[in-house]
A = this chain, B = another copy of it.
Amino acid sequence: MTGIPTATISRLVTYLRILEGLEAHEISRTSSNDLAERAGVTAFQVRKDLAYFGRFGTRGMGYTVPILKRELMRVLGLNQTWNVVVVGMGRLGQAIANYPGASDYQFQYVGLFDVNPDVVGRTVRGLPVRHMDELPEFVRGHKVDMGFLAVPPDHAQDAAQALAGAGVRGILNFAPTVIQPRMLERAGQQEISDEWRAVIVENVDFLAGMKRLAFYILNPHLNAVDTEETE
Protein backbone atom coordinates (compact mmCIF):
# COMPACT_ATOMS: atom_id res chain seq x y z
CA MET A 1 0.00 0.00 0.00
CA THR A 2 2.75 2.37 -0.95
CA GLY A 3 2.75 5.47 -3.06
CA ILE A 4 0.70 8.36 -1.78
CA PRO A 5 2.03 11.59 -3.25
CA THR A 6 3.45 14.08 -0.79
CA ALA A 7 1.41 16.74 -2.53
CA THR A 8 -1.75 14.79 -1.69
CA ILE A 9 -1.02 15.11 2.02
CA SER A 10 -0.57 18.86 1.70
CA ARG A 11 -3.85 19.12 -0.15
CA LEU A 12 -5.67 17.04 2.46
CA VAL A 13 -4.61 19.64 4.99
CA THR A 14 -6.12 22.30 2.76
CA TYR A 15 -9.38 20.38 2.33
CA LEU A 16 -9.61 19.95 6.07
CA ARG A 17 -9.21 23.68 6.58
CA ILE A 18 -11.95 24.36 4.06
CA LEU A 19 -14.26 21.89 5.79
CA GLU A 20 -13.67 23.67 9.09
CA GLY A 21 -14.63 26.94 7.46
CA LEU A 22 -17.79 25.38 6.02
CA GLU A 23 -18.70 23.93 9.38
CA ALA A 24 -18.18 27.30 11.02
CA HIS A 25 -20.66 28.73 8.52
CA GLU A 26 -23.02 25.83 9.21
CA ILE A 27 -22.81 24.47 5.70
CA SER A 28 -23.30 20.75 6.04
CA ARG A 29 -22.88 19.47 2.50
CA THR A 30 -20.21 19.90 -0.14
CA SER A 31 -18.92 18.26 -3.31
CA SER A 32 -15.67 17.59 -5.07
CA ASN A 33 -16.44 20.55 -7.31
CA ASP A 34 -17.03 22.89 -4.40
CA LEU A 35 -13.93 21.75 -2.54
CA ALA A 36 -11.87 21.98 -5.70
CA GLU A 37 -12.89 25.55 -6.35
CA ARG A 38 -12.10 26.63 -2.81
CA ALA A 39 -8.79 24.80 -2.77
CA GLY A 40 -7.71 25.97 -6.20
CA VAL A 41 -7.37 22.49 -7.71
CA THR A 42 -9.47 20.31 -10.01
CA ALA A 43 -12.39 18.17 -8.88
CA PHE A 44 -10.59 15.11 -10.29
CA GLN A 45 -7.74 15.86 -7.97
CA VAL A 46 -9.97 16.14 -4.93
CA ARG A 47 -11.63 12.81 -5.61
CA LYS A 48 -8.36 11.06 -6.35
CA ASP A 49 -6.77 12.45 -3.20
CA LEU A 50 -9.65 11.24 -1.06
CA ALA A 51 -9.77 7.88 -2.80
CA TYR A 52 -6.31 7.02 -1.47
CA PHE A 53 -7.83 6.76 1.97
CA GLY A 54 -11.36 5.50 1.50
CA ARG A 55 -14.84 6.27 0.30
CA PHE A 56 -16.23 9.23 2.16
CA GLY A 57 -18.98 10.50 -0.12
CA THR A 58 -22.30 9.45 -1.51
CA ARG A 59 -22.75 9.16 -5.27
CA GLY A 60 -25.18 11.68 -6.56
CA MET A 61 -25.11 13.51 -3.25
CA GLY A 62 -21.61 14.66 -2.45
CA TYR A 63 -19.95 14.79 0.94
CA THR A 64 -21.30 15.49 4.39
CA VAL A 65 -19.09 18.14 5.93
CA PRO A 66 -18.78 16.75 9.48
CA ILE A 67 -18.16 13.23 8.26
CA LEU A 68 -15.49 14.17 5.76
CA LYS A 69 -13.89 16.44 8.30
CA ARG A 70 -13.79 13.69 10.89
CA GLU A 71 -12.32 11.23 8.41
CA LEU A 72 -9.63 13.64 7.27
CA MET A 73 -8.70 14.38 10.85
CA ARG A 74 -8.37 10.67 11.47
CA VAL A 75 -6.26 10.17 8.34
CA LEU A 76 -3.98 13.05 9.26
CA GLY A 77 -3.62 11.89 12.84
CA LEU A 78 -5.33 14.92 14.31
CA ASN A 79 -7.76 13.14 16.58
CA GLN A 80 -5.03 12.38 19.06
CA THR A 81 -2.90 14.56 21.28
CA TRP A 82 0.62 15.46 20.20
CA ASN A 83 3.06 16.65 22.82
CA VAL A 84 5.42 19.26 21.44
CA VAL A 85 8.58 20.98 22.60
CA VAL A 86 9.91 24.12 20.97
CA VAL A 87 13.68 24.41 20.75
CA GLY A 88 14.98 27.93 20.26
CA MET A 89 13.13 30.73 22.01
CA GLY A 90 14.21 33.69 19.92
CA ARG A 91 11.61 35.87 18.28
CA LEU A 92 10.54 33.14 15.87
CA GLY A 93 10.33 30.49 18.58
CA GLN A 94 8.22 32.81 20.69
CA ALA A 95 5.92 33.54 17.78
CA ILE A 96 5.53 29.82 17.18
CA ALA A 97 4.87 29.11 20.86
CA ASN A 98 2.18 31.79 20.88
CA TYR A 99 0.65 31.08 17.51
CA PRO A 100 -3.10 30.74 17.84
CA GLY A 101 -4.40 27.65 16.15
CA ALA A 102 -1.44 25.51 17.08
CA SER A 103 -3.20 24.56 20.27
CA ASP A 104 -6.22 23.45 18.29
CA TYR A 105 -5.83 20.01 16.79
CA GLN A 106 -4.32 18.64 19.92
CA PHE A 107 -0.86 20.07 19.50
CA GLN A 108 0.13 20.72 23.09
CA TYR A 109 3.22 22.68 23.92
CA VAL A 110 4.66 20.96 26.94
CA GLY A 111 8.19 22.37 27.02
CA LEU A 112 10.29 25.25 25.70
CA PHE A 113 14.08 25.11 25.40
CA ASP A 114 17.03 27.34 24.65
CA VAL A 115 20.70 27.62 25.51
CA ASN A 116 20.92 31.38 25.92
CA PRO A 117 21.14 32.23 29.63
CA ASP A 118 19.28 35.47 28.96
CA VAL A 119 16.28 33.46 27.83
CA VAL A 120 16.43 30.35 30.00
CA GLY A 121 14.23 30.85 33.03
CA ARG A 122 11.89 33.32 31.40
CA THR A 123 8.27 32.42 30.91
CA VAL A 124 6.57 32.21 27.52
CA ARG A 125 2.88 31.43 27.28
CA GLY A 126 2.92 30.25 30.85
CA LEU A 127 5.76 27.78 30.32
CA PRO A 128 9.28 28.21 31.69
CA VAL A 129 12.09 28.18 29.17
CA ARG A 130 14.42 25.32 30.09
CA HIS A 131 18.04 24.71 29.22
CA MET A 132 18.81 22.18 26.49
CA ASP A 133 20.66 20.06 29.03
CA GLU A 134 17.30 19.10 30.45
CA LEU A 135 15.90 18.02 27.07
CA PRO A 136 16.60 14.24 27.14
CA GLU A 137 15.08 13.70 30.55
CA PHE A 138 12.16 15.98 29.75
CA VAL A 139 11.31 14.25 26.49
CA ARG A 140 11.22 10.86 28.13
CA GLY A 141 9.33 12.08 31.18
CA HIS A 142 6.68 13.96 29.24
CA LYS A 143 6.19 11.60 26.30
CA VAL A 144 7.13 14.28 23.81
CA ASP A 145 6.22 13.39 20.23
CA MET A 146 7.58 16.30 18.23
CA GLY A 147 10.14 19.04 18.41
CA PHE A 148 9.78 22.38 16.65
CA LEU A 149 13.18 23.68 15.73
CA ALA A 150 13.62 27.46 15.67
CA VAL A 151 17.32 27.89 16.32
CA PRO A 152 19.86 29.70 14.13
CA PRO A 153 20.83 27.64 11.08
CA ASP A 154 24.32 26.84 12.30
CA HIS A 155 22.91 25.14 15.39
CA ALA A 156 20.05 23.35 13.67
CA GLN A 157 21.83 20.06 13.01
CA ASP A 158 23.06 19.76 16.59
CA ALA A 159 19.67 20.63 18.01
CA ALA A 160 17.99 18.16 15.65
CA GLN A 161 20.32 15.43 16.81
CA ALA A 162 19.62 16.33 20.41
CA LEU A 163 15.91 16.03 19.74
CA ALA A 164 16.29 12.76 17.88
CA GLY A 165 18.61 11.38 20.54
CA ALA A 166 16.11 12.32 23.21
CA GLY A 167 13.52 10.25 21.41
CA VAL A 168 11.13 12.51 19.55
CA ARG A 169 9.45 10.99 16.52
CA GLY A 170 9.36 14.05 14.34
CA ILE A 171 10.97 17.43 13.87
CA LEU A 172 9.45 20.52 12.29
CA ASN A 173 12.47 22.44 11.12
CA PHE A 174 12.08 26.21 10.76
CA ALA A 175 15.79 26.82 10.22
CA PRO A 176 16.93 27.46 6.65
CA THR A 177 19.15 24.39 6.57
CA VAL A 178 18.95 20.82 5.38
CA ILE A 179 18.98 18.48 8.34
CA GLN A 180 21.18 15.49 7.52
CA PRO A 181 18.96 12.51 8.25
CA ARG A 182 21.65 9.91 8.61
CA MET A 183 22.87 11.52 11.79
CA LEU A 184 19.46 11.42 13.41
CA GLU A 185 19.28 8.41 15.64
CA ARG A 186 16.59 7.86 18.13
CA ALA A 187 17.37 7.00 21.69
CA GLY A 188 17.30 3.28 22.21
CA GLN A 189 17.79 2.57 18.56
CA GLN A 190 19.56 -0.66 19.42
CA GLU A 191 16.43 -1.90 21.18
CA ILE A 192 14.28 -1.36 18.14
CA SER A 193 15.63 -3.78 15.58
CA ASP A 194 12.99 -4.87 13.14
CA GLU A 195 10.57 -2.07 13.41
CA TRP A 196 13.16 0.67 13.17
CA ARG A 197 11.60 4.03 12.59
CA ALA A 198 13.44 7.03 11.35
CA VAL A 199 12.82 10.46 12.76
CA ILE A 200 10.59 12.38 10.37
CA VAL A 201 11.70 15.86 9.36
CA GLU A 202 9.37 18.42 7.81
CA ASN A 203 10.63 21.83 6.79
CA VAL A 204 9.01 25.23 7.01
CA ASP A 205 11.29 27.75 5.39
CA PHE A 206 10.11 31.24 4.72
CA LEU A 207 13.41 32.58 3.46
CA ALA A 208 13.01 30.01 0.73
CA GLY A 209 9.48 31.26 0.18
CA MET A 210 10.78 34.80 -0.28
CA LYS A 211 13.29 33.63 -2.85
CA ARG A 212 10.81 31.54 -4.76
CA LEU A 213 8.54 34.55 -4.84
CA ALA A 214 11.31 36.70 -6.29
CA PHE A 215 11.91 34.11 -8.99
CA TYR A 216 8.27 33.80 -9.99
CA ILE A 217 7.81 37.55 -10.09
CA LEU A 218 10.64 37.67 -12.62
CA ASN A 219 9.35 34.60 -14.46
CA PRO A 220 5.58 34.72 -14.16
CA HIS A 221 5.04 32.43 -17.13
CA LEU A 222 6.71 29.60 -15.18
CA ASN A 223 4.31 29.94 -12.30
CA ALA A 224 1.88 27.13 -11.64
CA VAL A 225 -0.92 27.69 -9.18
CA ASP A 226 -0.29 25.15 -6.51
CA THR A 227 -1.16 24.55 -2.91
CA GLU A 228 2.08 24.45 -0.98
CA GLU A 229 5.05 25.12 -1.63
CA THR A 230 7.22 23.20 -1.28
CA GLU A 231 8.29 23.00 -0.10
Q: Produce 1/0 per residue, A66-110, CB < 8 A to B.
A: 000000000111100010000000011011101101100101000
Q: Are A76 and B226 in contact (CB under 8 A)?
A: no
Copies in the complex: 2
The reply on A28 being an interface residue by CB < 8 A is no
Neighbouring B residues of A145 by C-beta, 8 Å: 217
Given contacts A210-B107, A215-B9, A39 and B174 within 8 Å (CB-CB): no
Q: Given A220-B197, A230-B10: A206 and B170 within 8 A (CB)?
A: no
On chain A, the number of residues with a Cβ less than 8 Å from chain B's Cβ atoms is 76
Contact between A10 and B217 (Cβ–Cβ < 8 Å)?
Answer: no
Contact with B along A208-227 (1 / 0, CB 8 A): 11111111111011111111
Across-interface contacts of A226 in B (CB, < 8 A): 6, 230-231
Contacts of A77 in B (CB 8 A): 214-215, 217-218
CB of A51 closer than 8 Å to a CB of B: no
Q: Does A193 contact B (CB under 8 A)?
A: no
A39/B178 in contact, CB under 8 A: yes
On whether the beta carbons of B208 and A10 are closer than 8 Å, the reply is yes
Expressed in whole angstroms, the minimum distance between the Cβ of A123 and any Cβ of chain B is 15
Q: Which of B98, B172, B177, B229 contacts A10 (CB 8 A)?
A: B229
Which residues of A come within 8 Å of B, CB atoms? 2, 4, 6-7, 9-10, 12-14, 16-18, 38-40, 75-78, 82, 91-92, 94-96, 98-99, 101-102, 105, 107, 145-146, 148, 169-172, 174, 176-178, 180-181, 197-198, 200, 202-218, 220-231
Selected A-B contacts with CB under 8 Å, 7 pairs? A9-B212, A91-B94, A95-B95, A107-B210, A146-B210, A200-B223, A203-B228
